[in-house]
Amino acid sequence: MPAVLALDEDIGFWGTQAVDFRNQLDQVDGDIVVEINSLGGDVMSGLGIYNMLRNHAAKGHKVTTRVTGVAASIASIIMLAGDDRQMPTNAFAMVHAVRGDAFGTADELRAQAEVVDKVQASLRNIYISRMGVDEATAIEIMSKDTWLSAEECLELGLVNSVVDPVRATAKFDLVRADLPDHVAAVFKNQADPTDLTDPTLPTDPADPTNTPEPEAPNTPVAESIVAEASSLGLEAHAAHFALNFATLDAAKAQMGVAREITALCKVVNKSDQAAALIRGGKTVAEARATLANLLAASDQQIDNSPKITNGPTGTDPAKPAVVSPTSLWASHNSQKKEGR
């Protein structure tokens, strides 16, 4: 039986790191199945995982990738690392252009744009070579957020087989994911359906006397969220997380964003802005833009032009001091009285 590795969270950032994936892959000496349910994440981490899997295949091992929910952004590249690529009929993939955050001088912005173009070309070549499409098709699907059903993925060559559907659940924050409505509907967390074949369940579920009492959690969710926030140094925002998130997993995902925003504010000496950005639900990219604007607005405008003062005490000796006719006449009368 092949080993199974799962990617059920963001790639890089506060999700699955490339080094952790390598540590797991190094323990596999044979065929492997990689199950993917990820909205993507850091491009370089994803490229690293893609190349690790292609190297594993080059050793003669079969690499199978299977989408269990969604393979979006860089996760769609990882999906293409498999020679056998499977997707159930109710799963999705998403392809789009490379995005980057930058601020600075015009030269720095142009340099960042050149890097994005190079990374974009690298990913485009992977889509072309692994899917078997032409460059025009790759450019088209990367020009916007292109959401693809399993059948569309099969037609384009993203996958080479569509399998029986699985029931999709999400381990990522759907609010932060900003999915289209028809896609988000598939990934909403749902309670497991009652298994009427379970002999431990009542034979007549409609009979209230046979309905088991639900077990209360050992620790209330709010207390768990507050404890997690405190462990991450986010005590000041613990109440915010407890009030705005119904599950610990959802709160933890936003805590990762909060820690990044806190670090950014500290770096630019704007720690007083952290609370407003975090409690305003800002993303890391939005926080960067806000801080950049604040720094630009606080820059002092310095006038380096020379200051010139006319007259004998100034810096322009070519222009005499201003003398009034009244002072001249007074001087003339004084000289007459003195017999000059």
For the beta carbon of residue 72, count every other beta carbon within 10 angstroms: 27
96 in active site: yes
Strand ranges in 14-167 using DSSP code E only, listed in sequence order: 32-38, 63-72, 84-88, 92-95, 146-149, 161-163
Catalytic choice (61, 96, 149, 224):
96
Q: What are the backbone angles phi and psi of residue 94, rounded to the nearest 5°?
A: -140, 135
Q: Please report how many Cα atoms fall inside a 13 Å half-sphere around the Cα of residue 170, on the Cβ side.
A: 24
Residue 210 burial by Cβ neighbours in a 10 Å radius (0-12, 13-18, 19+):
exposed
Q: How far is CA 182 from the centre of its chain?
A: 22
Choosing from 38, 45, 73, 76, the catalytic residue is 73
Token pair listed for 83:
């020679």
What is the number of other CB atoms lying within 10 angstroms of the CB of residue 101? 12
Cβ neighbours around 315 below 10 Å, total: 10
Asked about 324 being catalytic, the answer comes back as no
The catalytic residues are: 73, 96
